[in-house]
Amino acid sequence: MRPLPRRSVLALHEAASREGPANQRWYRVDLTPSVHVDRGCFFTETEYERRAARRGALCVFGAALLYSLGGLCIKVIPWGGMAINGGRNLIALLVIGAYLLLARHRLRLNRWILLGGLCVCGTNVLFSVANKMTTAANVIVLQFTAPIFVLLLGALFWRRRPGKMDVIACMVVLAGVLCFFVESLEAGDMAGNVLALLSGLSYAGVFLLKELPDSDPISSVFWGDVLSAVIGLPALLGEQALDPGPLFSLVVLGALQVGLAYILLTIGLRTTPPVAASLISGIEPVLNPILVAVFYHETIGPLSLAGAVIVVGAIVIYQIMKGKAQGQPEG
């Protein structure tokens, strides 16, 4: 749908001022709510919503790109998982606090926001600790069960029946991730694998932050990071290796991989449905080992490359089909 020319809209309003009260009522009720202004152009409600949806998807994608930096930075920090998680969340709090001040967003707290904060904290802690107890491949594969948990939680608590396209996309993306790591997937430590699976459940809760009643996703992220920092602070104070390299990596983790990434994710969740957001984030478990391979010269086998193509292709096709479905007129 093409944007309405400025002259056409102005002409309609000028005509309304010259008409009687009955006709003016038509202009007030039907025209004004359906028009939005963006960069000097007028757009209909449908076009405006599509643009907002695209921006939201880009924010979620940007968050996934930043999340994928975790593997690179954690490799050069010789600390325990709890210490790393505590340090990065302390730094992330500064970034998120600055964002709240700049955006003039009032920090809130209620039981639903606290529940969301527990999901954020669980994701942070479980992922960091599991990485020290089992292989990174196991952790990423098991955490990326999040889209499946999103569908299950949506059906269980919101009585939301998943669409056929959502279910198929989840299955294809999950198959691609498994294919990507099948060459390096090992049994690992059972406790670590269980924690990684639980991190997938808590990660699904992160994607559902906007769906909670009386919610405020960025406040949930802030309180979740506070809990993560408090839990990890004792381990952080016990670390002795404070070389510049690990400290720089910790700053990158806190400022970008946690702070900015969560800000982008909460912005994206305003217009991106939870299932779609979790699928778009499927780029993270693919990019993470690819970046490690590029910078640390770890080889990637042909099956892993095939898995990467499956995941990226499924996400792109899903977004295209979803966009076309949303653009179709109702009725």
Residue 104 has a pLDDT of: 94
Domain assignment present for 175: yes
Confidence of residue 300 (pLDDT cuts 50, 70, 90): low
Count: domains in the chain:
1
Domain assignment present for 228: yes
Compare 118 and 297 and report the one with higher pLDDT.
118
The alpha carbon of 78 is separated from its chain's Cα centroid by a whole number of angstroms, namely: 28
- Report how far residue 220's alpha carbon sits from residue 118's, in angstroms, rounded to the nearest whole number: 8
Domain assignment present for 201: yes
Whether the predicted pLDDT of 14 surpasses 70:
no
β-strand partners of 38: 41
Determine what percent of the chain is predicted with pLDDT higher than 70.
77
- Report how far residue 101's alpha carbon sits from residue 98's, in angstroms, rounded to the nearest whole number: 5
Weakest-pLDDT range from 37-46, 111-120, 156-165, 233-242: 37-46
Q: Span 156-177, mean pLDDT?
A: 83
β-strand partners of 43: 36
Confidence of residue 81 (pLDDT cuts 50, 70, 90): confident
pLDDT tens digit sequence for 187-232? 456 777 788 889 989 999 999 999 999 999 999 999 999 999 999 9
Q: Span 132-158, mean pLDDT?
A: 80
The pTM (predicted TM-score) of the whole model is 0.76
Domain assignment present for 70: yes
Q: How many residues comprise the chain? A: 331
Residue 121 has a pLDDT of: 96
Whether the predicted pLDDT of 173 surpasses 90:
no
- Report how far residue 285's alpha carbon sits from residue 64's, in angstroms, rounded to the nearest whole number: 9
Q: Span 303-321, mean pLDDT?
A: 76
pLDDT tens digit sequence for 232-252? 999 999 887 788 888 999 999
Q: Taking the C-alpha atoms of 213, 65, 90 and 201 in order, what is their torsion angle to the nearest 10 degrees?
A: 50
Whether the predicted pLDDT of 96 surpasses 50:
yes
Domain assignment present for 65: yes
Residue 326 has a pLDDT of: 62
- Contact criterion met (CB below 8 Å) for 92 and 255: yes
Which amino acid, 276? A
Whether the predicted pLDDT of 152 surpasses 70:
yes
Tokens of 162: 């998943």
Give me the helix-helix angle, 111-133 and 81-102, nearest 10°.
Answer: 140
Confidence of residue 24 (pLDDT cuts 50, 70, 90): very low
Residue 136 has a pLDDT of: 67
The position carrying tokens 């709090």 is 93
Domain assignment present for 279: yes
Residue 21 has a pLDDT of: 46
Domain assignment present for 240: yes
β-strand partners of 37: 42
- Report how far residue 35's alpha carbon sits from residue 209's, in angstroms, rounded to the nearest whole number: 29
Mean pLDDT of the chain: 80
Whether the predicted pLDDT of 148 surpasses 60:
yes
Residue 101 has a pLDDT of: 96
Weakest-pLDDT range from 38-52, 120-134, 170-184: 38-52
Domain assignment present for 305: yes
Q: Span 8-18, mean pLDDT?
A: 49
Confidence of residue 284 (pLDDT cuts 50, 70, 90): confident
Domain hosting 84: range is 45-321
